[in-house]
Structure 1
Amino acid sequence: MGWLYYGDNSEPIDIDDRALAHLKVVIATKLRRNESFTLSWQHPADHPTGRSTIWLHPSIPLRFVFVDPERPELSAEWITSMANSASSTGGITLLPEHLDSND
């Protein structure tokens, strides 16, 4: 389990390491282009039921923390899917990776 630290909030957002690695690529690309967007996710089972959304902007500090020291192999399909959603009016909705593309 990795963590995304957003702004000056000391409480991190819990995100699976593999998902966080993919998300990092998309977020870094969008922010490097000076683009803003939203990121939404469902709360984990050990948190109160619900979902959250944050506004990502190049001026807001972010820190990605990974438990696993090794970088995972990235899925171009998952990155493309996240990047496309980041460009939509709904922003990125963090969903599980579909490993079988025949789904």
Structure 2
Amino acid sequence: MPDHTLAYVRTIAMTKLRRSESFSLSLQGGDTNGMSTVWLHCSIPLRFEFDSDIMPALDRRRLEELAHAASSSAGLVIDLTELQAPADISIARGQLERVA
């Protein structure tokens, strides 16, 4: 996922998990062309890796919308197909992975 989107996910995850609030994160599209859902809980170690050293600025209104979604019964849903860049434009990609 793009670094900018990963920055929102990281901010929401860190805030909710610091409060011991679990939530689901669903990714639509991407490599699988389906949906993948993970459960995020404060007992599960996470590591966020960004392609760039520069942290993107976050829009407070968008952050609040995503945080509200994360608190809903559907959880936080990120549609990766909406984030795809045209083939001739290179965008740094970030990744979210579980630490073993």
**TM-score with structure 2 length normalisation?**
0.76
Cα deviation, residue 49, structure 1: 2.0
Number of equivalences: 81
Gap regions ≥5 residues in structure 2: 84-100
- Decide which of 64, 74, 77 is 1:90's aligned counterpart: 74
Work out which structure has the larger RCO, using CA pairs closer than 8 Å and 6 or more positions apart in sequence: 2
Coordinate RMSD, CA, aligned:
1.4
Query: In structure 2, do the counterparts of structure 1 residues 73 and 40 end up closer, same or farther at CA, with 3 Å as the change threshold?
Result: same
Displacement over 3 Å in runs of 4+? none
State percent identity of aligned pairs. Answer: 42
- Aligned twin of 2:27: 41
Cα deviation, residue 94, structure 1: 1.3
- Decide which of 4, 13, 18 is 1:27's aligned counterpart: 13
**TM-score with structure 1 length normalisation?**
0.73
- Aligned twin of 1:80: 64
Q: Give the distance between the partners of 1:42 and 1:91, measured in 2 at CA.
A: 13
- Decide which of 48, 55, 69 is 2:53's aligned counterpart: 69
Cα deviation, residue 32, structure 1: 0.2
